[in-house]
Amino acid sequence: MVSQLKEGEFNPYYGIYIAKAESPDIVKGLQSSQKEFVDFVQSIPEEKFTHAYAEGKWTVAEVLQHIIDTERIFAYRALCFARNDKTSIMGFEQDDYVPYSNANNYSKEELISDFVSARSNSISLFKSFTDEMLTRIGEASGSPMSARAAGYILEGHQKHHFEVIKERYL
């Protein structure tokens, strides 16, 4: 786990993702994981893109759209927390997003482009934060979260799904 995070900066549920963040520098971690992930997705055969490994499971395209959606949601959370917005942010139900994502109708190139855009926006956002902004804490899904925890979650969440795709889809 990224050692600079303190108890109370995130719900323990997110520990699995935070543990996958490799760099204490959020921006560097987001940048390096972006390149690695894009290279990986480009290598996935086209015929596997709308493949689900079991009945009722997401396709690779849906997993990618889920990563993009999560990127946008957690970047928004980080922005709110960094700006000291004390509004409690509701959670989101990932399984409710997928049927309405239209992911299987997008090409691999379109989803990669969308991921790169979302990640580039996150990188720009985290570059703008001061150390003080990164440690500000807000509330999301009924639990405390710091802006920096949201950044580490972004990197780790993407890496988690990278591993799932490799293990179960290819």
Q: pLDDT for 12-21, tens place per residue?
A: 999 999 999 9
**Mean pLDDT score of the chain:** 95
CATH architecture classification, 12-169: Up-down Bundle (1.20)
What average pLDDT does this structure show over 155-167?
Answer: 96
Q: Closest Cα partner for 32 from 133, 169, 162, 166? A: 162
Percent of the chain with pLDDT over 70: 98
Residue 58 and residue 168 in contact, taking contact as beta carbons nearer than 8 Å:
no
Tokens of 139: 């509330």
Whole-model pTM: value is 0.95
Q: Closest Cα partner for 138 from 91, 83, 94? A: 83
Q: pLDDT for 126-139, tens place per residue?
A: 999 999 999 999 99
All structural domains of the chain with their residue ranges: 12-169
- Rg of the chain, C-alpha, whole Å: 16
Per residue, the 3-state secondary structure of 82-138, as one string, reads HCCCCCCECCCCHHHHHHHCCHHHCCHHHHHHHHHHHHHHHHHHHHHCCHHHHHCEE
* Placement of tokens 């790169």 in the chain: 116
What's the pLDDT band for 4 if we cut at 50, 70, 90? confident
Count CA atoms within 13 Å of residue 48 on its CB side.
14
Residue 135 and residue 148 in contact, taking contact as beta carbons nearer than 8 Å:
yes
